[in-house]
Amino acid sequence: MEIINHFPANYSVTTEVELPPSGQQVTHFNYRATQAPSHGLDGPLVRIEPISAPPWLAVFGGGYAGSGILDAIYTTPRPTIVCIVCRGAGYLVDAVNKIKEDVPTFPIRQAVILNELLVFADFTRLAAYGAAGIAWVSEPLVSDRLVVSAPSPEASFLTCRGLDAATQKELEVEVDVYTGRVIGNPEGIRGIRD
């Protein structure tokens, strides 16, 4: 699992971890569920070491069994929050308090760092995470296969492409980075291939 350390963090994360000796607690997180006791390792075992608290272990379960799905760990615009994406399920975890929030897009297929945001893409929508938490979640932008083009780091919009099921054409959509709203023509969408 790749670790992307773009933003400053008040913790470190290790993925090459062995199970602890008997009696040591492992926190188990499931996507779209409350914390539950572990029934084995159904996801990666991660060691989180906050600067101001003891280190702890967590397992991240759930996810999507398909191709083209993201598995990675990201620092975030909030120095105490780590983002763990396991089989497309995104967890925003407070490294000190062991509390998680789910990334509202699922399954995550792509993550883009832009300005002071971490932007996630699933098959149809985007969600952005900033210093204050979830900044916005877009409406469905395409019917399927959403891909974000690599923007310049200071860009004020994202260019996305994807399939429009009604016309079976690939579409291009521009999304305002600060609001998540479609910009451009009234529909905000234009066909790019017949």
Is residue 185 predicted with pLDDT exceeding 60? no
Mean pLDDT for 144-170 is 89
**What tens digit of pLDDT does each residue of 23-61 get?**
678 888 988 875 445 455 667 889 999 999 999 999 998
Mean pLDDT for 97-107 is 95
Domain that holds residue 115: 2-191
- Per cent of the chain over pLDDT 70 is 88
Q: What are phi and psi for residue 5, nearest 5 degrees?
A: -105, 70
Domain count across the chain: 1
Residue 99, token pair as written in the block: 């509390």
Mean pLDDT for 116-139 is 96
Is residue 81 predicted with pLDDT exceeding 50? yes
